[in-house]
Amino acid sequence: MTGNPFVAGDLPPVTLDIDVLVGRYADRAGPTGEPAAVAETLAANGVERAAVASLRAALFDVASGNDEVAALAGPGVLPVGGLDLRDPLGAEREVVRLAEGGFRAVRLFPDEQGVEADFPSVRHVARRAAEAGLIVLTGGDVRRFWRPLRGATVVFLDTHFYHLGDFVVVARDEPGFHTSTRLLNSPDALETVAGHLGVERLLYGSRTPFYEPVVPRLRLARTGIGPSAIAAVTGGNARRILGLAR
């Protein structure tokens, strides 16, 4: 069989996608991540609102990238501040600026910035973000990056189903640890998290436009966790940890 066998009505709507990017990677081919095109893709895939971070902030210039994403704020966009872990002193100043500017979350890009989990900057920046009341959204392998992020409210955006057991055992001791659903596409991954930790630890994330947003929606549509739990995963849990009324 070719093509998508499911019609759009089969898929759960997403009220808040936790992992969306604008901008581009200068060193690779692919989408340019223009905000208008990203918004169009999200709308076409049933995503009402997105937590959006800037690749410009991650890769080129923190302040201007974050200012650009702040300008996108509106009913469909919740801006997320990017931080540069290669510059921990600059990052701590940016945390203050973002918190004062009304941001609710920051995004860490350790892989793109060539930062290892045991670099002092990771623990330092995460601590400063937590002290400022900001949620941490982070890339990177959860098996390495869990340790410096202990004690913070974190969404691990790159949790792979191969590593799900490691996430579960560390998250049992860390009530602030959450995971994106993006790479949890095995037959029992979502059910494993729900059964061992509770469905409140799962947040829908697509990484639009660099990954296909329909895949995690398809997996949710076929999960056995129930409609109210699906609604929590596709937006309710994100709104709760971000302190959003709706």
pLDDT on residue 96: 98
For residue 103, give the nearest of 115, 91, 95, 113 by alpha carbon: 95
Q: What is the mean pLDDT of each run of 10 residues along the chain (246 residues)?
A: 44 97 87 92 96 97 98 97 98 98 98 97 98 98 98 98 97 98 94 97 97 92 93 98 91
Q: Where are the beta strands (DSSP E) in 10-145?
A: 17-22, 50-54, 77-79, 81-82, 105-108, 135-138
pLDDT on residue 173: 97
pLDDT on residue 9: 53
For residue 129, give the nearest of 170, 81, 175 by alpha carbon: 81
Residue 237 phi/psi, 5° resolution? -65, -40
* d(C-alpha 92, C-alpha 104), whole Å: 15
For residue 32, give the nearest of 208, 153, 216, 227 by alpha carbon: 208
* d(C-alpha 106, C-alpha 95), whole Å: 8
* d(C-alpha 182, C-alpha 58), whole Å: 20
- Tokens for 213, please give them: 């947003």
Write 173-176 long-range contacts (CB < 8 A, 24+): 174/146, 174/150, 176/151, 176/152
The backbone region for 226, taken as left when phi is positive above 0, alpha when psi lies in -120 to 50, beta otherwise, is left
pLDDT on residue 157: 98
* d(C-alpha 94, C-alpha 109), whole Å: 15
pLDDT on residue 26: 83
**Helix, coil or strand: residue 192:** helix
pLDDT on residue 32: 81
Q: Are 219 and 184 in contact (CB under 8 A)?
A: yes
Instruction: Tell me the residue type at 73.
Output: A
The torsion of the CA quartet 137, 141, 147, 148, rounded to 10 degrees, works out to: -50
Task: Please tell me what DSSP assigns to residue 114.
Answer: T
Whole-model pTM over 0.75? yes
Give me the domains of the chain, ranges plus CATH numbers: 17-242 (3.20.20.140)
Task: Please tell me what DSSP assigns to residue 183.
Answer: T
Helices (H) and strands (E) in the chain, counts: 12, 9
pLDDT on residue 8: 46
* d(C-alpha 45, C-alpha 22), whole Å: 17
Task: Please tell me what DSSP assigns to residue 152.
Answer: S
